[in-house]
C-alpha cells in the first residue's frame, strides 16, 4: 500500500480510502466488519463515513434490506467493529461528516455551533471512540458565519474530540473563504475536500483543484466510477449479468459513445475499467485518495490493481480525448 500526507497536514493516509456508505442498507454488519478487517490487511488505514449513512435514503434510490435501517446505522456498525478490539481503532484514520439533519427538530443539522457540538458527541457515541481524526462538513452552510463554525471546531480540537477538519462538496471560493478566516484566527483550517471527481465529471479542474493545491487541501474524490458507468457497465450488459434501469439506464444511453470508447481502450490495455478509472485519479495532481465503496470483499480486492497500474502519457492523452477535461480557470475560457 502507498501512503501520502493528507493535504498540508502531517497525517499519513493510504492512497485508497474505504467508503462505508453501503454498510448497513446494502452490506450487512457482519460482512461490513469482514470488509474493514480485509482493508486493514491490505494496508488501507483511511476510512470514511458520515452521521447520515445507514438510512433508507443512503444511497439514493436503493431500498434498505432490513427494518433496522436508520440514519447513524453505519457509524454504529463501525463502532461495534472498533469495540471488538485488536487495535482496530488505533490503526484507522477515521473520517466522518456532519451537516444533514438527524431529526425533525430545529438545530438537528447544518453547522451552527450548537449543531456541531451535538453532532460530534452523537457520532462519538455511535462510533464508540473518544476522538475523530478528520471531521468533515458534508456541505457548505451559507447561514452560519465562518467565525462561529471555526470557534466550535476549535473547541472540539481543544477538547481532543477531533484532530483535523475537512469539507465536502465545497466550491473553490468556499475553501478560500474558510481557510482565510481560519488563518486569521490562528487555526489550521481545512486540510481536505471531498468532491465528485471522475473521468466523466471533471468540473473541479476549473477552480476547485487549483484552489485546493494553493491552500494545501488534499482532494478526496467521491464517485470515482461515476455511479458504475466507468466500471464496465456495457461489458456487464453484453454478458447478461446486469442491465441498468431507470436513471442509471438514462445515464448509460446519454454517455454510451464515450463509454464504448473507454471500455475498448481498457480492453486494449488488458485492464478492468474500474482499475483504469481509479488509476487515472491517482495520476492527477492534488488527489490524495479516491473513495472506494465496496459491497463485497471481491470489489475491494479489485480496487487494489489501481495502485500498481501506471498509465503512460499516450494512455492519459487518449483518456483525455474520450473524456475532455478542463484547463484551470480563467485560461480554460479566456486568453
- Residues identified as active-site: 53
Are the C-beta atoms of residues 311 and 276 closer than 8 Å to each other? yes
Are the C-beta atoms of residues 70 and 40 closer than 8 Å to each other? no
- Grid cell 480563467 — which residue? 330
Q: What is the DSSP string of 65-124?
A: SSTT--TTHHHHHHHHHHHT-TTTTTT-EEEEEE-S-SSSSTTSSSS-HHHHHHHHHHHH
C-alpha 204/C-alpha 226 separation (Å) is 14
SS3 assignment, position 173: helix
DSSP state of 296: S
Q: What is the DSSP string of 42-56?
A: HT--EEE--TTTTST
Are the C-beta atoms of residues 332 and 326 closer than 8 Å to each other? yes
- Grid cell 444511453 — which residue? 253
C-alpha 51/C-alpha 224 separation (Å) is 21
Amino acid at each position: 500500500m502507498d501512503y501520502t500526507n493528507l493535504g498540508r497536514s502531517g497525517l499519513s493516509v493510504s492512497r485508497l480510502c474505504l467508503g462505508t456508505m453501503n454498510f448497513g442498507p446494502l452490506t450487512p454488519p457482519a460482512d461490513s466488519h469482514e470488509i474493514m478487517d480485509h482493508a486493514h490487511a491490505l494496508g488501507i488505514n483511511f476510512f470514511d463515513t458520515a452521521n447520515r449513512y445507514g438510512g433508507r435514503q443512503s444511497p439514493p434510490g436503493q431500498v434498505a434490506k432490513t427494518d433496522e435501517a436508520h440514519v447513524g446505522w453505519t457509524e454504529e456498525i463501525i463502532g461495534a467493529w472498533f469495540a471488538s478490539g485488536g487495535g482496530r481503532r488505533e490503526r484507522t484514520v477515521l473520517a466522518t461528516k456532519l451537516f444533514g439533519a438527524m431529526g425533525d427538530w430545529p438545530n438537528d443539522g447544518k453547522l451552527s455551533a450548537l449543531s456541531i457540538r451535538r453532532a460530534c458527541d452523537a457520532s462519538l457515541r455511535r462510533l464508540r471512540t473518544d476522538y475523530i481524526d478528520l471531521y468533515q462538513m458534508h456541505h457548505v452552510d451559507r447561514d452560519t458565519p465562518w467565525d462561529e463554525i471555526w470557534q466550535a471546531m476549535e473547541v472540539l480540537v481543544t477538547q481532543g474530540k477531533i484532530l483535523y477538519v475537512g469539507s465536502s462538496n465545497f466550491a473553490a471560493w468556499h475553501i478560500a473563504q474558510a481557510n482565510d478566516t481560519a488563518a486569521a484566527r490562528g487555526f489550521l483550517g481545512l486540510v481536505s475536500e471531498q468532491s465528485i471527481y471522475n473521468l466523466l465529471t471533471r468540473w473541479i479542474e476549473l477552480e476547485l483543484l487549483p484552489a485546493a493545491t494553493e491552500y494545501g487541501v488534499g482532494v478526496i474524490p467521491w464517485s470515482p466510477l461515476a455511479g458504475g458507468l466507468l466500471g464496465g457497465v456495457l461489458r456487464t450488459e453484453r454478458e447478461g449479468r446486469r442491465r441498468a434501469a431507470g436513471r442509471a439506464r438514462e445515464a448509460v444511453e446519454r454517455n454510451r459513445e464515450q463509454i464504448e470508447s473507454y471500455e475498448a481502450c481498457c480492453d486494449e490495455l488488458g485492464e478492468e475499467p474500474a482499475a483504469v478509472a481509479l488509476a487515472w485519479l491517482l495520476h492527477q495532481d492534488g488527489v490524495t485518495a479516491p473513495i472506494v465503496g465496496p459491497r463485497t470483499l471481491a470489489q475491494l480486492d479489485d480496487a487494489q490493481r489501481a495502485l500498481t497500474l501506471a498509465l503512460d502519457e499516450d494512455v492519459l492523452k487518449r483518456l483525455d480525448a474520450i473524456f475532455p477535461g478542463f484547463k484551470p480557470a480563467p485560461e480554460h475560457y479566456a486568453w
